[in-house]
Amino acid sequence: MYSFEAVYARMLFAAGLRTQTELAALLRMKQASISEAKKRGSIPADWCMRLYDTCGIRFDWQRFGTGPVYDMAKIEEIQRFRRGEWAPEPAGRDSFMLREPQKPFYSFEEKNETPVFSTIQLPDGSFPEVTRQSFPSEFLPEGARVFRLLASDMAPVLNRGGLVAVVPGAEAAEGDIVAVFWARELGFRRLHRGEGGWLLHPQSGQEVRFISDADWPIYYYGKAVWAFQPL
């Protein structure tokens, strides 16, 4: 058997989270949903599956605390998928069976190509490459990293599928677009100064978030310098 508090604590621990707000952001739901689950005393199984799919945290460990915390084969699968690689053919498959050809993906060794990263951080702290693309050198300040957006954080300014260049740790100022951590995923917001901290504004439809000056180094990742995206 399992309790809400035990499963909830294991979820936070394994995903490197601290609050209901961070967990809600990772699960793509409202914080109120977590409060309602706490009142019921149970956590829906699909929450566990979401953590498994995005972070490789084993289902049995989340629910019951048994076995290893992470499924390393799943983490490797997540990395391959984000790089655009297909899974290998099943052993013993009929070689004459009609099937889709292998999807081509970028050679990571080609010159003048820049890595493009997923915005979801893996448990080891790295961001997996999803592809590589060529960009004019003047568009890539020293130290810049390019990310592919998994969500429309600031539509229509930043849309799902767009590419955003971020300079990690660069000093940000009033009005800049910045990358901040929501749990293990980067989100993008317009920065405005507030009393004792920073206000993070979405373009529309989402709440303004506040991060105090004391917590700013924990959440802040870097400053966005440009974006290429579908309109």
Q: Are residues 200 and 132 in the same domain?
A: yes
% of residues, the chain, pLDDT over 90:
22
pLDDT at 41: 85
Q: Contact 192/198 with Cβ under 8 angstroms?
A: yes
For residue 135, being part of any structural domain is answered with yes
For residue 88, being part of any structural domain is answered with no
Q: Are strands 197-201 and 185-194 parallel, antiparallel or unpaired?
A: antiparallel
Domain count for the chain: 2
pLDDT at 197: 92
Where among 30, 63, 78 does a domain terminate?
78
CA–CA separation, 16 vs 175, rounded Å?
Answer: 29
Got the DSSP string for 178-231? EEEEETTEEEEEEEEEETTEEEEE-SSSS--EEEETTTHHHHEEEEEEEEE---
Range(s) of the domain holding residue 71: 4-78
Q: Which residues contact 129 (CB under 8 A, 6 or more apart)?
A: 82, 83, 108, 115, 116, 117, 118
Q: What's this model's pTM, rounded to 2 decimal places?
A: 0.52
For 87-110, the pLDDT digits (tens) are 555 555 444 444 444 444 333 344
For residue 100, being part of any structural domain is answered with no
CATH number of the domain that 60 lies in?
1.10.260.40
Q: Are residues 59 and 119 in the same domain?
A: no
Token pair 């800049």: residue: 176
Where among 51, 78, 105 does a domain terminate?
78
Got the DSSP string for 82-113? HTTPPPPPPTT--TTS--PPPPP---TT-TT-
CATH number of the domain that 191 lies in?
2.10.109.10
For 42-72, the pLDDT digits (tens) are 888 888 888 888 888 888 888 888 778 888 8
Q: What angle do CA 170, 173, 179 make, to 5 degrees?
A: 55
Residue 161 gets the label, from left (phi > 0), alpha (psi -120 to 50) or beta, of left
For residue 209, being part of any structural domain is answered with yes
pLDDT at 56: 84
Q: Are residues 133 and 215 in the same domain?
A: yes
